[in-house]
Structure 1
Amino acid sequence: LTTPAISALHRGFPEAAITVVARPWVAALLEANEDITDVWEVDERNRLKFLAVAARMRRQRFDLGILFPNSFASALLLALGGVRRRIGYDRDGRRFLLTDRIVVTDEILKVHQVEYYLNIVGQVCDIKNSPRRLVLNVLPTEREWMSAFLQTQGVGETELLVGLNPGAHYGNAKRWFPERFAAVARYCAQHYGAKIVITGSQYEAEIAREVAARAEIPVLNLSGQLTLRQLAPLIARCSVYITNDCGSMHIAAALGVPL
Structure 2
Amino acid sequence: MSYHQKILLIQLRRIGDVLLCTPALRALRVNFPKSYVAFLVEKESSDLMAKNPYLDEVIVLKRGKYRNPFYFLKKLWQIRKKRFDLVIDFLGIPRSAYISFLSGAKRRIGYDLPLRRFFYNIIVKRDRTPKYAAAHKLEALRPLGIEDLDVKLDFFISDEAKAFSESFFLKNEVDQNNLVVSLSPTSRRHFRRWPLKRFARLADWLILNFKATVVLVWGPGEREVVEEVKNLMKEKPIISWETENLFQLGGILRGCDLHMGNDNGTKHIAVAMGKPNITIYGPQDPVSWTYPDFSRHKFLKKRVDCPDCDKIKHKCTKLSCLDLISVEDVQKVFLQLLKELKKTTEKRFAEKIEHLTVD
Q: Please point out which of 136, 142, 147 is paired with 2:161.
A: 142
Helix, strand or coil for the counterpart of 2:96? helix
The answer to whether the 8 A contact 1:31-1:39 is kept is yes
Identity between Structure 1 and Structure 2 (%): 26
Report which structure shows greater RCO (CA 8 Å, sep ≥6): 1
Whether the aligned pair in 2 keeps the contact of 1:33 and 1:136 (CA below 8 Å) is yes
Counterparts of residues 185-224 of structure 1 (less than 5 Å):
185-222=203-240
3-state DSSP of counterpart to 2:36:
coil
Listed as ranges, the gaps of 5+ residues in structure 2 are: 1-19, 278-359
**How many Å apart are 1:109 and its aligned residue?**
6.2
Q: TM-score, normalised by structure 1?
A: 0.88
TM-score by length of structure 2 reads 0.65
Give the AA of the match of 2:83: R
The alignment covers a number of residue pairs equal to 255
Deviation digits for residues 159-204 of structure 1, max 9, x if unmatched? Answer: 6422110112321x32222222212221222333332211123343
Query: Comparing 53-62 with 222-231, which one deviates more in the overlay?
Result: 222-231
Q: Report the CA distance shift for 1:219/1:47 in structure 2 as closer, same or farther (over 3 A).
A: farther
Alpha-carbon contact 1:197-1:222 (below 8 Å) kept: yes
Alpha-carbon distance in structure 2 between the residues aligned to 1:235 and 1:108: 33
**Paired residue for 2:270, among 242, 246, 252?**
252
8 Å Cα contact 2:168/2:241 also seen in 1:
no
Consecutive unaligned residues in structure 1, runs of 5 or more: none
| Structure 2 residue 122 is the aligned partner of structure 1 residue 100 | yes
Is contact 1:72–1:92 with CA below 8 Å preserved after alignment? no
- Give the alignment partner of residue 151 of structure 1, picking from 144, 147, 170: 170
Choose from 216, 225, 228 the match for 2:246: 228
Corresponding residue for 1:58? Answer: 80
Q: Whole-Å Cα distance in 2 between the matches of residues 191 and 110 of structure 1?
A: 37
* Shift in Å, 1:126: 1.8
Give distance in 2, aligned partners of 1:162 and 1:25.
26
Q: Deviations over 1:201-237 (max 9, x none)?
A: 3343333222111122222223865521210011111
- Distance in 2 separating the partners of 1:127 and 1:151: 44
Amino acid at match of 1:112: Y
Would the alpha carbon gap of residues 50 and 92 (structure 1) be closer, same or farther in structure 2, given more than 3 Å must change?
farther
Check if 1:120 corresponds to 2:140.
Answer: yes
Q: Distance in 2 between matches of 1:36 and 1:239?
A: 29
Q: Do 1:168 and 1:174's aligned partners in 2 also have CA atoms closer than 8 Å?
A: yes
Trace 1:140-179 onto structure 2 (pairs within 5 A).
140-155=159-174, 160-171=179-190, 173-179=191-197
Partner of 1:76: 98
Choose from 64, 88, 100 the match for 2:110: 88
The residue type paired with residue 106 of structure 2 is: R
Query: Does 2:35 correspond to 1:13?
Result: no
Equivalence for 2:70:
48
- 3-state SS of 1:123 partner: helix
